Chain A
Amino acid sequence: MQQTHTASSRAAPEAPPALLSVRDLATHFPVDEGNVVAVDGVSFDLYEGQTLGIVGESGCGKSVTALSIMMALSRPGRIVKGEILYRPRGQDPGPDEVIDLAALKPDGKEMRAIRGAEIGYIFQEPMTAFSPVHTVGNQLIEAIRLHRDVDGKEAKSLAIELLRQVEVPLAEQRLDAYSWELSGGLRQRVMIATVMASNPRVLIADEPTTALDVTTQAQILDLMRSLQQQSGMAIIMITHDLGVIAEMADYVAVMYLGKVVENAPVDDIFHAPKHPYTKALLRSIPKITEAEEELATIAGTVPHAYSRPEGCLFHPRCPEFMAGTCDARTPPPLPVSPGHHVSCFLYGDGG
């Protein structure tokens, strides 16, 4: 049982209350073959104007965590425990004025007043994220009219304005285009425009640049950063790419098999990583300055979804595995420096 821990114990003494606090969130997918534990007691905080990076291998529960926050899980996924505490727009900062999104009805009015309106979501694959039989303009205008009280004509001019804001050339013509008529980069820009339509306070970006080539990738990240500076929104950046993390994140949560194994300010992650998994991830980044013959990889593979290891989930692949400890008990999160927690028996008196 993982205990609740917060990142709010980090440095800044007069830090404002978190915009979004995820507490001990667990999301399961009960399927015929067994119960898939996709998210297993995840906690983190998100602050206004900041970027939280969530990093981990494929299948570690990053996207499911994000979709849980949106209360937009596909069947049969459901949140089995935990809280998603959100401080809605227009309320004074304070510990009491929070809504637990996890307790709301997924398709209820209250949740829909937040989903899309206050928390926006950008998908990895802008190709499939647009309906192929509706123009992108139709979908952009739909987003505008869902969240702003405007008529059709105003919505259209707002749409053009939004497209200009995300630097889409020939904005007016693009409204009549179908997603499959646009390039990958343009599609992702239009996607961002549909999300920015409601001027969200939290932007969840699920691998927003993975499907793009490197040049476009950099442009999209620049765009997101400048939008963040203009609006002060908070970003949750989900990625398996530590390069993106280094460029975007203020704070990082490293996930493995549905758990946050280490969370820390971005500098600590890169310069003082503690968890063997974080270290292994960092080792597997190719470096152009070193003429290494072989790229380091993490031993073994991610375990099968139905057979989660006992004890520390990483122990079967861990180079510093301690028999009798790591395979017996679950390591609790342990503070190692301000704002830096690690779940590993190598630290503290657990080992």
Chain B
Amino acid sequence: MLAYIGRRIVIALATMWGISLIVFVIIELPPGDAITTAMSLQAGGESGTSFIMTDEEMNNLRRLYALDRPLLVRYVNWLQRLAVGRWGVSYTYGGYASPTPVWEVVSDKFAMTVAVTGAATVLTWLLFVPIGVYSAVRQYSLGDYAASFIGFMGMAVPDFLIALVMLFLVFRFAGVAVAGLFSPEYIDAAWSLGKLWDLLKHLIIPGIVLGTAGTAGGIRILRANLLDEIRKPYVLTARTRGLPEMRLLLKYPLRVALNPAVSSVGYVLPALIGGSVIVSVVLDLNTLGPVLLEALRGQDTQLAAFIMMLIGGLTVIGTLISDILLAWLDPRIRKGFTG
């Protein structure tokens, strides 16, 4: 088991290196750099300032920020800085005069992002496991058809549309606007039980919206896997052994059928950040998704790179956790059985 985990960690590190290459290439792809972006923003600015840099001034700035060095050098420099925790600064947050460290930009939103997606994930699991089991055990029953119908709807309807409809319904019937994560009076308040409760109330709708697709998919996958497992001879064997049906179901087929669900746990972590951009915009959630969108559009390279590295890192860590969980759950993976 230790050797298995060790192997996985080595692979994870190699993957991280690969991701860093791709991220670097992506942020270098668009023509121009942060200086030209800043220039064009200045030039097109509505403030009407006629502050236009000369080429020489721009080149000086490039030298100052080491943007004139060869690609490979810049890549290695960047990697070195990442490794020692100098993750860079964002120029869109704080401006050129006093750029904000990217970590501050991100950490500010990070807790909220985790709260929103965490709520959605918990809700997803609470819903799809019992519904999936019911659907499989009572295959072709009215309840199964209902679950399948809702499941397909949940998968087919885009999240942001569900978000809009929910917003409308809640506003129409409860008379409250539920966008955002806090009521106005709590936004700048210090943390208190009241603020936490307010946050939990505001998490319900994002939780439902973001959880719908996951729940729908989960129901379908669990139902299909469980139906496969229930027909396996070892289930029949356990039944002929005299095991009560419920204990039988929980101990044997469900355990095996949950494998794919467990392996999807890994995708939850990156989805914490990157998975809810549009919904976050629609529901006005103060999460990282919109920040990444802005950073990419504004060529705020260090911020964009940091967020992408974060998403990549979380994907790798999530997958690592999934792999370890799976190995712990399934001896065939742990012992490398391929039959």
A residues adjacent to B (C-beta < 8 A): 67, 70, 72, 74-75, 107, 112-113, 115-117, 120-121, 123, 125, 128-135, 139, 142-143, 146-147, 178, 180-181, 191, 194-195, 198
Residues of B within 8 A of A139 (CB): 238, 241
Whether B85 is near chain A, meaning CB under 8 Å from some CB there, is no
Tell whether, in the assembled complex, residue B243 and residue A142 are in contact, meaning their CB atoms are under 8 Å apart.
yes
Give the docked Cα–Cα distance between A198 and B241 (Å).
9
Tell whether, in the assembled complex, residue B245 and residue A133 are in contact, meaning their CB atoms are under 8 Å apart.
no
Tell whether, in the assembled complex, residue B240 and residue A132 are in contact, meaning their CB atoms are under 8 Å apart.
no
Residues of B within 8 A of A112 (CB): 242, 244
For residue B260, give the distance in angstroms from its CB to the closest CB of chain A: 14
For residue A231, give the distance in angstroms from its CB to the closest CB of chain B: 18
Residues of B within 8 A of A130 (CB): 234, 237
Residues of B within 8 A of A120 (CB): 240
Q: List residues of B (243-287) whose CB comes within 8 Å of A's CBs.
A: 243-245, 251-252, 255-256
Residues of A within 8 A of B241 (CB): 115-116, 139, 142-143, 146, 194-195
For residue B323, give the distance in angstroms from its CB to the closest CB of chain A: 16
Residues of A within 8 A of B335 (CB): 178, 181
Q: List residues of B (156-192) whose CB comes within 8 Å of A's CBs.
A: none
Interface centre among B139, B234, B252 (most CB of A within 10 A): B234
Known: A107-B244, A107-B245. A132 touches B234 (CB 8 A): yes
Residues of B within 8 A of A146 (CB): 241-243
Q: List residues of B (196-247) whose CB comes within 8 Å of A's CBs.
A: 231-234, 236-245
Chain A residue nearest in CB terms to B240: A121
Tell whether, in the assembled complex, residue A131 and residue B234 are in contact, meaning their CB atoms are under 8 Å apart.
yes
Among the listed B232, B239, B331, B339, which residue makes an inter-chain contact with A72, where contact means beta carbons less than 8 Å apart? B239
For residue A176, give the distance in angstroms from its CB to the closest CB of chain B: 10
Tell whether, in the assembled complex, residue A180 and residue B337 are in contact, meaning their CB atoms are under 8 Å apart.
yes
Whether B74 is near chain A, meaning CB under 8 Å from some CB there, is no
Q: Nearest 5 CB-CB pairs, A to B?
A: A116-B242, A121-B240, A128-B233, A129-B237, A116-B241
Residues of B within 8 A of A121 (CB): 237, 240
Whether B330 is near chain A, meaning CB under 8 Å from some CB there, is yes
Residues of A within 8 A of B256 (CB): 131-133
- 29 CB < 8 A contacts A-B: A70-B239, A72-B239, A72-B240, A74-B231, A75-B139, A107-B244, A107-B245, A112-B244, A115-B239, A117-B242, A121-B237, A121-B240, A123-B233, A123-B237, A128-B232, A129-B236, A130-B237, A131-B238, A131-B256, A132-B330, A132-B337, A133-B255, A133-B256, A133-B332, A139-B238, A142-B243, A181-B335, A181-B337, A194-B241
Residues of B within 8 A of A194 (CB): 241
Interface centre among B233, B256, B330 (most CB of A within 10 A): B233
> Interface residues of B toward A: which range?
20 to 34
Interface centre among B239, B243, B251, B337 (most CB of A within 10 A): B239
Give the docked Cα–Cα distance between A134 and B253 (Å).
11
Tell whether, in the assembled complex, residue A129 and residue B331 are in contact, meaning their CB atoms are under 8 Å apart.
no
Whether B329 is near chain A, meaning CB under 8 Å from some CB there, is yes
Tell whether, in the assembled complex, residue A133 and residue B330 are in contact, meaning their CB atoms are under 8 Å apart.
yes
Tell whether, in the assembled complex, residue B332 and residue A116 are in contact, meaning their CB atoms are under 8 Å apart.
no
Residues of A within 8 A of B245 (CB): 107
Tell whether, in the assembled complex, residue B255 and residue A147 are in contact, meaning their CB atoms are under 8 Å apart.
no
Tell whether, in the assembled complex, residue B337 and residue A115 are in contact, meaning their CB atoms are under 8 Å apart.
no
Residue-by-residue, is B136-152 near A (CB-CB < 8 Å gives 1, otherwise 0)?
00010000000000000
For residue A113, give the distance in angstroms from its CB to the closest CB of chain B: 8
Residues of A within 8 A of B238 (CB): 131, 139, 142
For residue B134, give the distance in angstroms from its CB to the closest CB of chain A: 15
Give the docked Cα–Cα distance between A121 and B255 (Å).
24
Among the listed B242, B251, B330, which residue makes an inter-chain contact with A115, where contact means beta carbons less than 8 Å apart? B242
Give the docked Cα–Cα distance between A98 and B47 (Å).
98
Residues of B within 8 A of A72 (CB): 236, 239-240
Known: A132-B332, A133-B256, A133-B330. A147 touches B242 (CB 8 A): yes
Tell whether, in the assembled complex, residue A178 and residue B331 are in contact, meaning their CB atoms are under 8 Å apart.
yes
Tell whether, in the assembled complex, residue A128 and residue B242 are in contact, meaning their CB atoms are under 8 Å apart.
no
Give the docked Cα–Cα distance between A72 and B331 (Å).
28
Give the docked Cα–Cα distance between A250 and B219 (Å).
51
Residues of B within 8 A of A180 (CB): 332, 337, 339
Q: A133-B255, A146-B241 are in contact. List 17 more A-B contacts (CB 8 A).
A: A72-B236, A72-B239, A115-B241, A116-B240, A116-B243, A123-B236, A123-B237, A125-B233, A128-B233, A131-B252, A142-B241, A146-B242, A147-B242, A178-B332, A178-B337, A180-B332, A198-B242
Residues of A within 8 A of B139 (CB): 75
Give the docked Cα–Cα distance between A232 and B324 (Å).
49
Chain A residue nearest in CB terms to B255: A133
Interface centre among A116, A131, A147, A180 (most CB of B within 10 A): A131
Give the docked Cα–Cα distance between A113 and B242 (Å).
7
Tell whether, in the assembled complex, residue B242 and residue A129 are in contact, meaning their CB atoms are under 8 Å apart.
no
Tell whether, in the assembled complex, residue A115 and residue B233 are in contact, meaning their CB atoms are under 8 Å apart.
no
Known: A107-B244, A146-B243. A133 touches B237 (CB 8 A): no
Residues of A within 8 A of B330 (CB): 132-133
Residues of A within 8 A of B242 (CB): 112-113, 115-117, 146-147, 198
Chain A residue nearest in CB terms to B329: A133
For residue A14, give the distance in angstroms from its CB to the closest CB of chain B: 34
Chain A residue nearest in CB terms to B253: A131
Give the docked Cα–Cα distance between A116 and B339 (Å).
29
For residue B201, give the distance in angstroms from its CB to the closest CB of chain A: 41
Give the docked Cα–Cα distance between A317 and B211 (Å).
60
